[in-house]
Amino acid sequence: MKNLRRRPNSGQAMVELALVLTVFLVIVMAIFDIGRAVYYYTAVQNAAREGARYGSSNPNAVGIQNAARSKAIGLNISTSVVINTDTVAVTVTYNFRPATPVLWLVNRSNVFTLSSKAVMRVEK
């Protein structure tokens, strides 16, 4: 007769894999979202800088906003322009919504505001 033994831990490996894989995938998604946030923040900075650069040679509020929006293609940014006699200040903000549900624990509204301000002198 064959000795048929049943192993007592036959499903243990599958349960461990399910637990570890869940944590691993959440961490990978969080890293992906942080990368997206850095990319969008860089786009917001570039948009503010480009708007201020345009405003330094042509201090026109509508033109400055259009120049800033042209650098942030695909992002729904909001711009604020302050034109003084010597300087132009452009503030660009963007509401970032992460895809990872764990980042909701950091901020209950699930929206992170990315903002950048650039100031340049007006050329005369």
**CA-based nearest residue to 118, from 80, 82, 90, 85:** 90
Residue 1 lies in a domain: no
Residue 6 lies in a domain: no
Confirm whether 48 is domain-assigned: yes
pTM of the model: 0.80
Q: Does the residue 5 lie in any domain? A: no
Q: Which residues 6+ apart lie within 8 Å of 8 measured at CB?
A: none
Does 4 fall in a domain? no
Q: What is the span of the domain harbouring residue 77?
A: 12-121
Residue of 4 and 37 predicted with greater confidence: 37
In a domain, 93, yes or no: yes
DSSP notation for 26-64: HHHHHHHHHHHHHHHHHHHHHHHHHHHHHHHHS--HHHH
| Residue 3 maps to a domain | no
Question: What's the number of domains the chain is made of?
Answer: 1
pLDDT tens-place string over residues 92-124: 999 998 887 766 666 677 888 999 999 999 987
